[in-house]
Amino acid sequence: MSRWLAIDHGTRRIGLAVGNTADGIACPVAVIPAQPAEGVLVRIRQLLDEYQIVGIVVGWPLNMDDTEGPQGRLARQMAANLAGATGMDVRLWDERLSSFAADEALAGTMTSGKKKARQDAVAAAAILRDFLDSGGPACAPRPMDIPPKSDRP
């Protein structure tokens, strides 16, 4: 069994979830502020140790036409930075509709304030479940495997 950490990257908040390849179960762990970047790295390193993580999957917000917008570039850059800072196997995973899935999962279960505080971690769990169900790292690119923008459609 190998455990993976999923990251739903945002400019204000970052959702974190942990799951494993043995059973494909992914659980929301935390939502942390996106700034300062050093604090994000400290918390991620804590989770890597605590859960004996072997890899990280970062949600990659592609547009519906498969192009990468500004948020996608930020997520890809974060993934590349994490790979360099941690030495971990870091993969990108198309996160389209993960926030919608999180909203659906949380619908009617809590107040809007509590839901907003939990939504990013639930979205990270949805990203991780999809990643694991689809074959995991064998089906997901590393950030350095993505060609420069000029080489993509």
- Quick one: three-class SS letters along 44-109? HHHHHHHCCEEEEEEEECECCCCCECHHHHHHHHHHHHHHHHHCCEEEEEECCCHHHHHHHHHCCC
pLDDT exceeds 70 at position 74: yes
Q: What's the total number of domains in the chain? A: 1
The answer to the question of residue 110 being in a domain is yes
Structural domain contains residue 10: no
| pTM confidence score | 0.84
Domain annotation covers residue 130: yes
Query: Domain for residue 76, yes or no?
Result: yes
Please report whether residue 104 resides in a domain.
Answer: yes
- pLDDT tens sequence across 36-65: 999 999 999 999 999 999 999 999 998 888
State the pLDDT at residue 150.
42
Q: Does any domain span residue 9?
A: no
- What's residue 151's pLDDT? 43
Q: How does the average pLDDT of the chain come out, rounded?
A: 85
pLDDT bracket for residue 119 (50, 70, 90): confident
Query: Which pLDDT score is estimated for 97?
Result: 57
Q: Which is more confident, 118 or 86?
A: 86
Q: What is the CATH number of the domain that holds 60?
A: 3.30.420.140
- Domain assignment present for residue 139? The answer is yes
Domain that holds residue 42: 21-151
